Amino acid sequence: MAAETIKNRYEFVLLYDVENGNPNGDPDAGNMPRIDPETGHGLVTDVCLKRKIRNYVEMVKGDEPGYRIYIKEGIPLNSNHKEAYLAVGLQPGTKASVHDVNKARAWMCKNFFDIRTFGAVLTVGDNCGQVRGPVQINFSRSIDPIVQQEVTITRLTVTREEEAEKERTIGRKHIVPYALYRAEGYISAKLANDPTKGTGFSEDDLALLWEALINMFEHDRSAARGKMATRKLFVFKHESDLGNAPAHKLFELIQVRRKPYANPPRSFNDYEVVVNDELPKGVALEIKL
């Protein structure tokens, strides 16, 4: 039996840190860690975290029905649109009616976890419509300003044959010695269970999302990213699908403070997480980690 579509609105606060790594390089700045030039705080984009969630789900579920990943390396997106058309009895390459586009859209939501979760624009090529995803994540921002370090490294080999006489080549790595980041997210039950435009994001999908947020860094190791870990995951659950309190009011209940002696901070233990448990009526707080 298919899992029940979610019926409650949620918001969440994710705290994660990096040690001696580059959590999200900026291609416009030589792949240096992203930074807010006005405040010096580090930034990590929403798409960076969504990529890690997709990778975790693909690793856990593989190509299990209903949990395929739409945006993945090496797979042209339009090939999935063609598959959807054939699955619902449409001829690829032909102009579909609104009714038929909605059938293809529903098939895509049913079969691809990331479309059902984050949404997608599916209008290029064989038109499968547009999907507004119930799960959205803001840019992450570090609690304190970060230090961008450029470390020179040497390699005892060369790449090009004309460099064969050289003893070694020089390279560079960009790291943040330590930073704690905060991301905030939203989950709309209305965008999941709407009779005509809902994606069908289910209770099982929600449990998998929490699992991914907690474990996504454990399977995303690389020399460039250093040591990264999810430290805390706070979830606000509303009694209704429309919600019982403004999201920004709930986010303000979670405060992260650097301890006075920690200048600069070197670990998660140098911070204090303060939770105000005076919740608005109709909202419950769940601490997943």
Question: How wide is the angle at C-alpha 12 spanned by C-alphas 11 and 14, nearest 5°?
Answer: 160
How far is CA 208 from each of CA 41, 56, 108, rounded to the nearest angstrom?
30, 9, 19
pLDDT of residue 154: 83
Kindly report whether the peptide bond that precedes residue 264 is cis, defined as omega within 30 degrees of 0.
yes
pLDDT of residue 167: 67
pLDDT of residue 196: 86
| β-strand partners of 283 | 238
Copy the structure tokens of residue 245: 């309190």
pTM of the model: 0.94
**DSSP string computed for 125-153:** SS---EEE-SEEEPPEEEEEE---EEEEE
| β-strand partners of 287 | 234
Copy the structure tokens of residue 276: 């105000």
pLDDT of residue 234: 98
Closest CA to 20 of 130, 161, 177, 219: 177
10-residue averages of pLDDT along the chain (289 residues): 87 98 94 96 98 97 94 90 96 95 97 98 95 98 94 78 72 92 98 93 98 96 93 98 97 97 95 96 97
